[in-house]
Structure 1
Amino acid sequence: MKSATSLLLGAALATVFFLLYTSVRRDLGGGPPRSPPPQWAQEQGTASTAAAVARVVDGAEQGTLPARREDAVAPREEETDDAAAEQRQDQQKMVMPTRQQQDTAVAPHQDLADLLRRAAMADRTVLMTAINEAWAAPGSFLDLFLESFRHGEGTEQLVQHLLMVAMDGKAFDRCNSVHPFCYWFRVDGMDFAGEQSYMKGDYLEMMWRRNMFQQTILELGYNFLFTDVDILWFRSPFPLISPTEAQLVMSSDFFVGDPNSVGNFPNGGLLYVKSCDSTVRFYKHWRSSRARFPGKHEQFVFDRIVKEGLPAHVGTTRVQFLDTDYFGGFCQHGKDLGKICTMHANCCVGLQNKLFDLRNVLDDWKTYKARVAVGNVEHFSWRVPGRCIH
């Protein structure tokens, strides 16, 4: 009996001590471990974190990331609702096409002015071309383009003044693997990586975006000689271009014999523009005229505004056109390889067709140089017809 009483007393004391301990712990902020939050709360926390990451990525793409602050403080309570709403909006903005998700996510920091400064000639002139994934891929136009400079007469050093403008992330990566001056002209929501067949897909927007970039170069105070990447270079064109005679000089699909005639058929694949107030105003007029000719490319609009005559507020930009005997193409070209500076794969549809004929053109040029070396160039010209050349 005494043993049972002792046991009951011990149990009672243990219970009292347990209750006292629990009470003290609760008052001190302790207590049993918390249960995991419900599933809906976990999902909400994950979404908030994803939104925060999304906002940082989006800010980097837009170039709007704020400077880092070491003394940053927590937001006031009344700001949190706005921040949560902003996070939700940023989550929605991060939905991108599949192709873009496969591309480089964030464009690197780029200083266009510094690239131009390093690439420019002494007179602030840069060569410039534009590439996308399809045209920059190994074995495609970019390789032929660069090879032509190596085999041309006095052209190899010109590559030191070439700025390559990449229209997508893969073209930018490819450029960086072969050339020092690469700039990614990123356009959110647009995919310029494919072949971009003439007047199909994103072709029009790509051409007008290129036009806008050229205006930017002029506004930064640099002259440029733009060249399509499906143009082979055999001699320097600069001796045949005089900035004192014309501030804008464009190649021709068909040349009528007079460089000053508006009857020439313009082709913006080879285009020299001198940086000055009048050419900047010309570009603004050119771009604003697009609205009057919906669905037309920049060459069509150029042809129309030149034929119309420039309004007084634009200024006195003088326009000339290049002779196809020196600046040929598949539309029209001279037969004397002793004169030729460039050859353009114009008047041709299809990437493979252009590549086939350009390879033949480059081979013909190499054969011509070999025959010059032994003094035998009689009756030698381009191989025609090809898949494009007729």
Structure 2
Amino acid sequence: MNNQSIDLQISTDVFNGDPSSRFNPINTGFYFIKSSTKMTSLFQKWYDMRKNSTGMKEQDVLVNLVRQGVLSELGLNARFLENLYFSGFCRDSRDVRLVMTVHANCCRGIEAKVIDLKAILRDWKRFKDEKSKGNIGVLGNTTNGFRWPSSGHLSCLNSKKKYRNL
């Protein structure tokens, strides 16, 4: 993340293979920015647009801005991060050994997020313990019965049903 020409690096729900494609479905669960007036302009535009986008989540507002070309309009270089390294509940990483962050943006409600993030932490500790014993092979998610997350994000899945029925 030390490329000085990149202004914004942001996680994705599903990485389309091109780190510069504005059509990667972004996820604001993790982003890294280079402080600049251009970035301040992006955040101001995002904030202003959010105020005028009734019923939309702030992430959806940014998705629309990016797809409409706001990054090139402001002269910003962006890198969309592969979810292999920046995992989330929208899509689990294929290899738990490579994950740097996990976010719960695709989950509705704080209670469900906390429950499933605790399950992720429990699974991560179990993975590290198995790894230290030499029991994890080539692909951490599938070798020796390890499945990440073991809970399948059940609280998150149930929260989506709950909010859909309101």
Residue 386 and residue 244 in structure 1: after superposition, are their counterparts in 2 closer, same or farther (change >3 A)?
same
8 Å CA contact retained: 1:330, 1:344? yes
Q: How far off is 1:259 after superposition? A: 1.9
Residue 349 and residue 242 in structure 1: after superposition, are their counterparts in 2 closer, same or farther (change >3 A)?
same
Which residue is 1:253 aligned to? Answer: 13
Identity %: 33
| Among candidates 97, 103, 114, match of residue 355 of structure 1 | 114
Which residue is 1:95 aligned to? Answer: none
Q: Unpaired runs of 5+ in structure 1?
A: 1-240
Residue 346 and residue 258 in structure 1: after superposition, are their counterparts in 2 closer, same or farther (change >3 A)?
same
8 Å CA contact retained: 2:19, 2:80? yes
| Residues 90-239 of structure 1 mapped to structure 2, 5 A cutoff | none
Mapped to 1, the partners of 2:49 and 2:113 lie a distance apart of 31
Secondary structure class of the residue paired with 2:18: coil
**Which aligned segments of 4 or more residues in structure 1 are displaced greater than 4 angstroms?**
none
Q: How far off is 1:248 after superposition? A: 1.0
Q: Unpaired runs of 5+ in structure 2?
A: 138-142, 158-166
Which residue is 2:53 aligned to? Answer: 293
Q: How far off is 1:341 after superposition? A: 0.6
Per-residue CA deviations over 1:18-40 (Å, capped at 9, x if unaligned) read xxxxxxxxxxxxxxxxxxxxxxx
Mapped to 1, the partners of 2:71 and 2:109 lie a distance apart of 38
Q: How far off is 1:350 after superposition? A: 3.0
| Among candidates 96, 101, 120, match of residue 342 of structure 1 | 101
- The two structures have a TM-score, normalised by structure 2, of 0.77
Mapped to 1, the partners of 2:96 and 2:50 lie a distance apart of 38
Which residue is 1:269 aligned to? Answer: 29
8 Å CA contact retained: 2:10, 2:80? yes
Aligned residues: 149
8 Å CA contact retained: 1:337, 1:381? no
Q: How far off is 1:274 after superposition? A: 0.7
| Among candidates 51, 70, 78, match of residue 319 of structure 1 | 78
Residue 351 and residue 281 in structure 1: after superposition, are their counterparts in 2 closer, same or farther (change >3 A)?
closer
Secondary structure class of the residue paired with 2:131: helix
Larger RCO, structure (CA 8 Å, separation 6 or more) = 2
Q: Which has the higher helix share?
A: 1
- The two structures have a TM-score, normalised by structure 1, of 0.35
Mapped to 2, the partners of 1:315 and 1:263 lie a distance apart of 17
Residue 323 and residue 311 in structure 1: after superposition, are their counterparts in 2 closer, same or farther (change >3 A)?
closer
Mapped to 2, the partners of 1:292 and 1:352 lie a distance apart of 29
- Larger radius of gyration, structure 1 or 2? 1
Which residue is 2:67 aligned to? Answer: 307
Q: How far off is 1:272 after superposition? A: 0.9
Mapped to 1, the partners of 2:127 and 2:71 lie a distance apart of 47
Residue 291 and residue 348 in structure 1: after superposition, are their counterparts in 2 closer, same or farther (change >3 A)?
closer
Residue 356 and residue 324 in structure 1: after superposition, are their counterparts in 2 closer, same or farther (change >3 A)?
same
